[in-house]
Amino acid sequence: MREVERLVNKNILVVEDESIVAKSIQEKLNNLGYSVPAVVSSGAGAIKEAEKIHPDLILMDIKLEGDIDGIEAAKQIRRLYDIPIVYLTAYADEEILQRAKITEPYGYILKPFEERELLGNIEIALYKHKMEKKLKENKNQLNNIINSTSELIIVFDKNNRISNWNKAAEYITGFRRKEVVNKHITKLNVFDNPKRLLDNINSITTGEIVKFDDLILRDKNNVKKFIQISYSSVRDNKEEDLGVLLIGKDVTFERFNQKKISKGNSYLIPNEGNNYYIELFKNLAKLGDKSLFITRGNLDIVKSKTSSLNTQIILLQENKLDGFVNISNLDDLASKIQSFIDKNINSLILLDRVDYLLTRFSFNQFVNALYKINEIVSNSNSIFLLHLPSFVLDKKEMVIIENELQFIPGKDIKNIEIEDELYDILKFIYEQNKSNLMVSFKKIRNNFSLAYSTTAIKLKILLDKDLIVVKKYGRYKKVNITEKGKSLLNKRKISLMKKI
């Protein structure tokens, strides 16, 4: 979904009778940019709040105490109000599924779940609900709606043949609609694992829960494309099966960079003002390795962000806290990392809040500790991530750190230089993105009074340097700054401040 759609005035009602879980979900939603106007613990409370606040979406725990469980509450809400409901459940037995199916939920999230699953299911549910409302208003506009969205949409009929293939699917894969429509899944080269796709489609049509997952497609050049997707059954007014709808977004860039990170290496993440390093840590930790998060950050926030991971948290502080290991000096830091790696052959370590260490110890002491850590990691099958805000070091110190560690693939900005006008364009794109405004070619042309050909040339330079990404959005091309682009802007900002 577009970021602007997700962040603006989207209220979510949380229905969960376990207070700790409810609080964790609320924190996750707030971190993702959603508003949670109410949290209730009963089915009766859910119906009452749905009438009172009419939220954009309801996260409903299936198993609730009392006469009205989550399914019954959803049934009544569906009858009374037009509110999409996504079920939260740790149960998947046949009886529960058959009852849940009748309420036509917009998705299922199996406990325990990851933040990516939560975000994906919510965005897909909101989008599906939006599409359904538009279809009810004007059914003759179906193809226009499907083709105007930036999300990939594929519809499979009940014989597992493709019946719809939208413009976004054409753009991502290079395969035109006429090349794939009416063809069976197994007869196309576009699906990397057609058997797995067929299994998921069959599961959907029989009412089983299919977890939020990635679909791997191959474009015309045989290049893999990673698509974050959700499935939904398509039924007529008589509840007869018509097929399966698949909605997804292209996350190839994120997955590709994560897969290029290799074990036995230490990486530097000099980001400013964003949580990229946490998202990177989470995505790498999901690959299955035991992970270690060393920080001085807010403990509640750190716990909420790592709650679904197999992660140990170590605190950078002198005083001990019940239930947590602490580190008070640099020798102890290297020792704790060595001990963790010894116990966990394949491991992931993130060191955050380095500013705390640099205020207590000299730069040379810190670098010596970093040399030890790097050597420990290089002799293991582990990955070490160092989140280092560049404002805590001067230029010479930063160069020393950069020479010792590697940059995250796709994030290295050391040798990138661009002219002033390109910096201005990049800054404009960043400021527009930050305000959740769409940036089109036309918008850039008008702002800088450029000809179309000049705009295209300048954006191609930024695109080739991985400073921006360009995606087709209906008839327009939408421009977003990358993390690499943000880092380059920050580097220039720091350089100008030092000159002043």
Residues 161-219: tens digit of each pLDDT: 999 898 888 888 889 999 999 999 998 889 988 888 888 888 877 766 665 567 888 88
Give the H/E segment covering residue 373. Answer: helix 363-378
Q: Which residues, 6+ apart, have CB-to-CB distance to 135 below 8 Å?
A: 141, 142, 145
Cα–Cα nearest to 145, from 170, 163, 168, 122: 168
- pLDDT by residue (tens digit) across 413-461? 656 777 888 889 999 998 888 777 888 888 999 999 888 888 888 888 8
Classify domain 140-250 by CATH architecture: 2-Layer Sandwich (3.30)
Residue 60 has pLDDT above 50, yes or no: yes
How far, in Å, are 5, 19, 120, 174, 180 from residue 171 at the CA level?
22, 45, 21, 6, 14
Q: How do 11-15 and 468-473 pair as beta strands?
A: unpaired
Domain 3-136: assigned CATH number: 3.40.50.2300
Q: How far apart are CA 373 and CA 363, in angstroms?
A: 15
User: Has this prediction a pTM greater than 0.75?
Assistant: no
Return the domain boundaries, the chain.
3-136, 140-250, 255-407, 420-499
Helix (H), strand (E) counts: the chain: 21, 19
Taken in order 95, 97, 98, 102, is the CA torsion positive or negative?
Answer: positive
Read off the pLDDT band of 14 (50, 70, 90).
very high
% of the chain surpassing 70 pLDDT? 81
Name the pLDDT band for 398 (thresholds 50, 70, 90). Answer: confident
pLDDT tens track for 69-78:
888 898 888 8
- Using alpha carbons, select from 105, 87, 100 the residue that is nearest to residue 25: 87
Q: Are 404 and 286 in contact (CB under 8 A)?
A: no
235 touches 374 (CB < 8 A) = no
Report in angstroms the alpha-carbon separations of 154 from 12, 32, 213, 446, 460. 28, 27, 15, 36, 30
Are both 3-136 and 255-407 of the same fold?
Answer: yes
Please give the Cα distance from 161 to 181 (Å, whole number): 7
Please tell me which of 213-217, 229-233, 238-242, 421-425 the model is most confident about, judged by mean pLDDT: 421-425
Task: Work out the pLDDT band at 2, boundaries 50, 70, 90.
Answer: very low
8-state DSSP, 10: -
CATH topology for 420-499? Arc Repressor Mutant, subunit A (1.10.10)
CATH of 255-407, one of 3.10.25.10, 2.120.10.30, 3.40.50.300, 3.40.1190.20: 3.40.50.300
Q: How far apart are CA 204 and CA 201, in angstroms?
A: 5
Token pair for 197: 């796709």
What is the Cα–Cα distance from 55 to 367, expressed in whole angstroms? 51
